[in-house]
Structure 1
Amino acid sequence: MSKIERAEVFVASPGRTFVTLRITTSDGVVGLGDATLNGRELAVASYLRDHLVPLLIGKDPARIEDMWQYLYKGAYWRRGPVTMTAISAVDTALWDIKGKVAGLPVYQLLGGRSRDGVLVYSHASGRDTAELLDDVERFLSLGYKAVRAQAAVPEVGGTYGVRKGKLYEPAATALPDEQPWDTEAYLNFAPTYLEAVRERFGFGFHLLHDVHHRLTPLEAARFGKAVEPCRLYWMEDPTPAENQEAFRLIRQHTTTPIATGEVLNSIWDVQTLITEQLIDYVRTTVVHAGGLTHLRRIFDLAALYGVRTGSHGATDLSPVSMAAAVHLDVAVPNFGIQEYMGHADETLEVFRGGPTLAAGMLHPTEVPGLGVEYDEKAAERYPYEARYLPVARRLDGSVHDW
């Protein structure tokens, strides 16, 4: 019987920092898992190397469910982003192995296709409304059927979601960038540029917007009401999601759809949001919510309550996670949309393969497993660089949700 013979953890910064787990069986089958936690990568790398890897050696790689329970319940200290990201990496790597052993792409092991392709959205942004409109036009010309729109609030530095280079990547080198924030200025300005997008391009595509946890429930309700004429596909993370009950107030005041969950990492974190239908889209992701095994549980619970999927898919997910996400997206019945930003050229030197983009949709590979390979030699050219996400401060100097 095949056993886990080796488990290696790689930390590299090709374009941005990624933590990758590579499991090798006694039969020579290799599985990859993503263990990246943006701004806290080394904590997960240590958790894997020091605590989980010793537990894997000699285990049966086919017992995916048993391994998940062993790593989750067996630790006693449960949940949290570091623990769940580490478990995700192991779980995803074992699914990769299982697919290769079976000779099937992972989505076939999840029940096969529910759809032909996976609808994605990407990120349009600008330093002002005019620049944003040009960027929206660029994405629509590329065939995207869904676009997220963000613009810099005038005279407020550090506005979330505005791209500085080819890709939006907020994590910076050295210490965190401390950025100013003015809620009233945002509430006054953001509806105007969303209205401008609709006025110029109409309603023939999905328009999304990310509030990024910055509003109180009442402020979020006010914002959702204001943008109802724009018919947003969703407003994302309108308020911090630790208090699930807070979404009830937003629900009472607006019909703008709500999406949340990218920073949540278990089914218990979204249980009330889903079962009381306080959100429309759950954004939990493979890498932070316990891998394919646990994310499928979240999506199945959501399906019972008419909540659709909309998983996080920024550049802080490696191509391994993106591939795993698309395999699950194509299989589940309640799929909604998948965030997709692409990756830097350096990233694609290290991670080879994965889903393909055509006409605004991603398509999973048909090769066995997840369909991504890790080039260790290429990764050695990109040593680890410490990068932190920004910190937001109100104009009075106090710390705000970033």
Structure 2
Amino acid sequence: MKITDIKVIVCSPGRNFVTVKIMTDQGLYGVGDATLNGREKAVVAYLEEHVIPCLIGRDASRIEEIWNYLYRGAYWRRGPVTMCAIAGIDTALWDIKAKAANMPLYQLLGGASREHVLAYTHAQGTDIAECVDAVGARLGEGFKAVRCQTGIPGLRDVYGTGKYSVTTNAAQDAMPREESWSTPKYLSYVPGLFDRVRAEFGEDVHLLHDTHHRLTPIEAARLGKDLEPYRLFWLEDSVAAEHQEGFRLIRQHTTTPLAVGEVFNTIWDARLLIEEQLIDYIRMTVVHAGGVSAMRRVMDFAAVYNVRTGCHGAMDMSPICLGANLHLDLWAPNFGIQEYSGYLPEIEEVFPHAWSLSEGMLHPGDAIGHGVDIDEKLAKKYPYQRAYLPVNRLEDGTPWHW
């Protein structure tokens, strides 16, 4: 089964997405997500100028060989642009492979380990009271796990809260939006959020929180200890992801479960964290990790060390990525939880999908392949629009981790 053509489709039905579509001489095609939020065109150029010319005429069934050809053959390995490009190709090839086998992807991986996939969603507010109300609304929708984020008094546009919780568009903002940050204000305010949420909703709901890489290890250790009475499902991205050794200090001081990995690109980024059991959940995701092939390796490696999975699932990855994640989630014996932030109606129309959500549980569906497609005609109605993720600063103006 030869690859005859590969297209890169860029559209913006509320968010920018980069989709790879691979066609074969047997009439089968597959699609993969290659979106890198805020740097989408860099991946497009990498694919069109450097990857696609090397793949026409190759055997689409040789997924492992193609993955290593693209990874090892580039010499300049890793990095978000390279790995998103590889992910788009790899995911599309797995889609074709499963279609050729006439089965859903999770069956090709080895079959389901569970009946459905536990999901968590987001609840946010500009202050504690507003966030508590949002948690109640999410629980009313059937979710059993909720990530809670609150604004901080005196700070503007804190991550994960307010109307600017998604990527800004160049038509609205000529430059990336800037947010403000104060670690002392944050550390003194956030424990009060979880005190209120537990008092309001009890112990049965799973609560999660994202620090978004903003603390030092000792600050993260202090926060983890302060949050212990509220028994979080996890504390996410507590320190800058590059600082793997910093988790040793955090681990020494708190029993709050730790999660990290959404900005990781390869298994090497997570090796130390997993081997030393410094985290409880690895949050890598198909599009950023290098595809289904790479994500399966990460999951298997993590299982050896009792680390569970928690794939990143924000709206800046297309429904194709979520679909691929869900097939892996259903299969992985060490699955933990799947992030689900939801999608705008326009996005779901452009990307018809077999996956479903019911009572806080997701399932990839039983369509052959990974069960997600792209409506190319509809996608053309939503042309690419340059957009940026925000930039963060301390109150004195120092650039800080967003």
TM more than 0.5: yes
> SS of the counterpart of 2:270?
helix
Deviations 1:91-125 (CA, angstroms, capped at 9, x unpaired): 00000001111110000011000000000000000
> SS of the counterpart of 1:47?
helix
Partner in structure 1 of residue 267 of structure 2: 267
Partner in structure 1 of residue 92 of structure 2: 93
Distance 2:149 2:266 in 1: 28
Distance 1:223 1:309 in 2: 23
> SS of the counterpart of 2:220?
helix
Deviations 1:292-322 (CA, angstroms, capped at 9, x unpaired): 1011111111000010000100001101000
Give the conservation status (yes or no) of the 8 Å contact 1:172–1:389: no
Distance 1:295 1:371 in 2: 18
Q: CA deviation at 1:170?
A: 3.7
Partner in structure 1 of residue 64 of structure 2: 65
1:1-400 to structure 2, matched below 5 A, reads: 2-164=1-163, 168-173=165-170, 174-400=174-400
> SS of the counterpart of 2:64?
helix
Distance 2:195 2:169 in 1: 31
Deviations 1:2-51 (CA, angstroms, capped at 9, x unpaired): 20000000111101000000000011111000000010000001101111
Q: CA deviation at 1:171?
A: 4.0
> SS of the counterpart of 1:288?
helix
Distance 1:64 1:268 in 2: 21
Q: CA deviation at 1:164?
A: 1.7
Deviations 1:324-352 (CA, angstroms, capped at 9, x unpaired): 00000000100000000111111112101
Deviations 1:260-297 (CA, angstroms, capped at 9, x unpaired): 00000101100000000000000000000010101111
Distance 1:140 1:79 in 2: 39
Give the conservation status (yes or no) of the 8 Å contact 2:115–2:330: yes
Q: CA deviation at 1:354?
A: 3.1
The residue type equivalent to 2:56 in the other structure is I
Distance 1:184 1:29 in 2: 56
> How much is the aligned-residue C-alpha RMSD, in angstroms?
0.9
Distance 1:55 1:213 in 2: 37
> SS of the counterpart of 1:374?
coil
Give the conservation status (yes or no) of the 8 Å contact 2:354–2:366: no
> SS of the counterpart of 1:334?
coil
Distance 2:224 2:121 in 1: 21
Distance 2:181 2:139 in 1: 30
Give the conservation status (yes or no) of the 8 Å contact 1:319–1:354: no
Identical pairs, percent = 57
Deviations 1:172-196 (CA, angstroms, capped at 9, x unpaired): 4331111111111111111111111
The residue type equivalent to 1:169 in the other structure is V
Distance 2:229 2:273 in 1: 25
Q: CA deviation at 1:163?
A: 4.3
The residue type equivalent to 2:235 in the other structure is M
Distance 2:151 2:184 in 1: 14
In structure 2, runs of 5+ residues without a counterpart are none
The residue type equivalent to 1:250 in the other structure is I
Distance 1:28 1:6 in 2: 11
Give the conservation status (yes or no) of the 8 Å contact 1:31–1:93: yes
> SS of the counterpart of 1:184?
helix
> SS of the counterpart of 1:241?
coil
The residue type equivalent to 1:299 in the other structure is M
Distance 1:81 1:355 in 2: 26
Give the conservation status (yes or no) of the 8 Å contact 2:283–2:311: yes
Count matched residues: 399
Could you list the runs of 4 or more consecutive aligned residues of structure 1 that deviate by over 2 angstroms after TM superposition?
A: 170-174
Distance 2:50 2:385 in 1: 23
Distance 1:55 1:354 in 2: 32
Distance 1:354 1:218 in 2: 44
Distance 1:20 1:78 in 2: 22
TM-score by length of 1: 0.98
Distance 1:384 1:120 in 2: 30
> SS of the counterpart of 2:287?
coil
